[in-house]
């Protein structure tokens, strides 16, 4: 059966994927901490994105830009003036909402009163802070609302030092901050989140071709990592939806428990950003083609995904409930490349000789595999726990293992078991996990 939002939230907290931030103080709305399993799932997801976007390509390099950037960056990009959402407030209960997200703009969802919303006002989503000891406008800076501008202002630095020629891309993973009016749906929309963005610079006449290429590539990436095809779709934006700088944009959308919603956006940003920063800074960010003698501003194709949002989608998609011998088995069928633990090592019982040998086995495997040594509860309960957190393989060290130096390896998805010699265990696992 498909997972409900409550099911995933409960699983995430109970098993150590995601915790509410500052929970011992009552929690901080729209902020979350990633626990032992969540941080590993998130790291694995980012590693797969980096592998596909940078490691396996010869035309994309990486960057890690600062969270704090000069205020002029956000003025030139248009964020200071227009990075806003329409805010309305209920005159009865004083709840505030984003107008374009209300099901009925005439009814307050909190108190149910009609006609209590006043005129919408534009609310800037950037977090403000001050650099240095004095809090005045001269020292005002923003926490970045996106990682993209850090790429644009470093475009010439990267191009020059890496000796890159068009077309090429610059990729970045990092934290961004948006003071959302109405965050919600667990970690789907939060005020602090992590992005995976790439800016691909190309000749203007090639932009449409590259836009189609990256739209298809990003859609395929999710499918390659095991996402259910029926839960994924591409949706092109209508003209009225497009950002002022975009010639075209498509969303990779996922069917969340509440319906279809954005997973990743791929946009043709034209030459807006490099041209704007050239005009604002006085630094020439145009490109000179030494073969043709042309000078122009490259167009930019931007695939932009949220790492935290994407992790959430994979968690939802992997959730399955199955009937096994009259009981319900919960299993996260995560792709082996994403699973927090690749292997669980389980001594059959708490007998000291089995635990000692299982510890030795875990120590042997740790350099090659992310694993957990799990000793507590019955073997059946431990199998179920590792099914529920998505561990692909569980290795049981039993009493026969003391004499035959072999272990039982159980497959998460099929529940099939193989007896494998300990000296062949590493190549056995590598053939299935790598």
Q: Are residues 118 and 153 in the same domain?
A: no
**Rounded-to-integer distance, Cα 78 and Cα 98, Å:** 21
73 and 87 in contact (C-beta within 8 Å)? no
pLDDT(119) > 90: no
Q: Find out whether 93 and 111 touch, Cβ atoms under 8 Å.
A: yes
What domain range is 187 assigned to?
5-83+128-316
Residue 274 phi/psi, 5° resolution? Answer: -65, -35
Q: Are residues 358 and 289 in the same domain?
A: no
pLDDT tens across 30-83, in order?
Answer: 899 999 999 999 999 999 999 999 999 999 999 999 999 999 999 999 999 888
Could you give the residue ranges of the DSSP H alpha helices within 102-239? 148-152, 155-162, 207-224
Query: CB neighbours (10 Å) of residue 325?
Result: 5
**Helix axis angle, 36-50 to 307-318, nearest 10°:** 110
Residues 292, 427, single domain; the answer is no
> Is 321 within a domain?
no
Helices (H), 225-370: 272-281, 307-318, 352-365
Span 285-310, mean pLDDT?
Answer: 95
Lowest mean pLDDT among 97-106, 164-173, 308-317, 348-357: 97-106
Alpha-carbon gap, residue 153 to 39, rounded angstroms = 30
- Tens digit of pLDDT for each residue in 175-192? 999 998 888 889 999 999
329 is a domain residue? no
Q: Exposed, middle or buried by CB within 10 Å (0-12, 13-18, 19+), for 355?
A: middle
Cβ neighbours around 400 below 10 Å, total: 13
SS3 343: strand
3-state secondary structure of 338: coil
Confidence tier at 346 by pLDDT (50, 70, 90): very high
Q: Is residue 328 part of a domain?
A: no
Confidence label for 244 from pLDDT (cuts 50, 70 and 90): confident
- Same domain for 101 and 193, yes or no, is no
Q: Do residue 346 and residue 308 come from a single domain?
A: no
Q: Is it the case that residue 341 has pLDDT exceeding 90?
A: yes
Q: Are residues 292 and 182 in the same domain?
A: yes
* Residue 333 included in any domain: no
Q: What CA–CA distance (Å, rounded) separates 82 from 84?
A: 5
What is the spatial distance between Cα 125 and Cα 145, in angstroms, rounded to a whole number?
Answer: 8
Domain of residue 393, CATH code: 3.40.50.800
Evaluate whether residue 93 is within a structural domain.
yes
Mean pLDDT for the stretch of residues 283-304: 95
297 & 386 share domain: no
CA 236, 174, 9 angle in degrees (round to 5)?
75
Residues 376-388: tens digit of each pLDDT: 899 999 999 999 9
Clarify whether residues 413 and 283 are in a common domain: no
- Is there a contact between 274 and 151 (Cβ–Cβ < 8 Å)? no
Cis before 21 (ω within 30): no
Q: Are residues 158 and 287 in the same domain?
A: yes
Given pLDDT bands bounded at 50, 70 and 90, which one contains residue 1? low
**Same-domain pairing of 294 and 243:** yes
From 74, 99, 124, the end of a domain falls on 124
Query: 267 and 302 in contact (C-beta within 8 Å)?
Result: yes
Torsion of CA 357, 360, 362, 366, to 10 degrees: -170
CATH code: domain of residue 280 = 3.30.930.10
Distance CA 416, CA 166 (A): 51
422 and 364: one domain? Answer: yes
CA-closest candidate to residue 79, choices 273, 237, 284, 278: 273
- Rounded Cα distance between 52 and 142, Å, is 31
DSSP 45-91: HHHHHHIIIIIT-SSEEE----SEE-HHHHHHHTHHHH-EEEEEEBT
**Which of these three, 73, 96, 124, is where a domain ends?**
124
Residue 254 lies in a domain: yes
Cα dist. 308→11, 138, 426 in Å?
16, 34, 32
Contacts of 98 (CB under 8 A, 6+ apart): 85, 86, 87, 88, 180, 181, 182
* 360 and 411, same domain (yes or no): yes
Which of residues 124, 155, 173 is at a domain's end? 124
Work out how many domains the chain is built from and give that number: 3
The DSSP-derived string for 392-427 is SEEEEE-TTHHHH-EEEEEETTT--EEEEEGGGHHH
The pLDDT, as a whole number, for residue 336 is 97
Mean pLDDT of the chain: 94
The per-residue DSSP string of 12-31 comes to HHHHTSEEETTGGGT--TT-
Considering the domain boundaries, does residue 247 fall inside one?
yes
Residue 94 lies in a domain: yes
Residue range 147-162: average pLDDT?
Answer: 96
């Amino acid at each position: 059966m498909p997972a409900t939002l409550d099911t995933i939230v409960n699983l995430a907290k109970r098993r150590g994927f995601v915790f509410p931030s500052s929970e011992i103080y009552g929690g901080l709305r729209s902020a979350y901490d990633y626990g032992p399993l969540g941080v590993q799932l998130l790291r694995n997801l980012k590693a797969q994105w980096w592998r596909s976007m940078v490691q396996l390509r010869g035309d994309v390099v990486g960057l890690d830009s600062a969270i704090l950037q000069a205020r002029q960056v956000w003025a030139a990009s248009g964020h200071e003036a227009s990075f806003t959402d329409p805010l309305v407030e209920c005159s009865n209960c004083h709840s505030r909402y984003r107008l374009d997200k209300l099901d009925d703009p005439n009814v307050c969802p909190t108190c149910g009163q009609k006609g209590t919303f006043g005129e919408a006002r534009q609310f800037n989503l950037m977090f403000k802070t001050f650099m240095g000891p004095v809090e005045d406008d001269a020292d005002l800076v923003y926490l970045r609302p996106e990682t993209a501008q850090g790429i644009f202002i470093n475009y010439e630095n990267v191009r020059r030092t890496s000796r890159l020629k068009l077309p090429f891309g610059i990729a970045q993973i990092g934290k961004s901050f948006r003071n959302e009016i109405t965050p919600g749906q667990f970690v789907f929309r939060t005020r602090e989140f992590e992005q995976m963005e790439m800016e691909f610079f190309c000749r203007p006449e090639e932009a449409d071709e590259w836009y189609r290429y990256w739209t298809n590539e990003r859609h395929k990436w999710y499918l390659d990592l095991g996402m259910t095809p029926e839960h994924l779709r591409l949706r092109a934006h209508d003209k009225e939806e497009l950002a002022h700088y975009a010639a075209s944009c498509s969303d990779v959308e996922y069917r969340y428990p509440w319906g279809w919603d954005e997973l990743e956006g791929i946009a043709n940003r034209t030459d807006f950003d490099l041209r704007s920063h050239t005009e604002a800074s006085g630094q020439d960010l145009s490109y000179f083609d030494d073969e043709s003698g042309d000078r122009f501003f490259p167009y930019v194709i931007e695939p932009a995904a949220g790492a935290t949002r994407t992790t959430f989608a994979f968690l939802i998609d992997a959730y399955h409930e199955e009937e096994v011998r009259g009981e319900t088995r919960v299993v996260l069928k995560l792709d082996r490349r994403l699973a927090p633990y690749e292997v669980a090592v389980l001594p059959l019982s708490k007998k000291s000789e089995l635990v000692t040998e299982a510890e030795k086995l875990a120590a042997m495997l740790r350099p090659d595999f992310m694993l957990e040594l799990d000793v507590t509860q019955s073997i059946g309960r431990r199998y179920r726990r590792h099914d529920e957190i998505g561990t692909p393989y569980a290795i049981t060290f039993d009493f026969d293992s003391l004499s035959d130096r072999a272990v039982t390896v159980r497959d998460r998805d099929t529940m099939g078991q193989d007896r494998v010699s300990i000296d062949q265990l590493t190549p056995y696992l590598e053939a299935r996990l790598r």
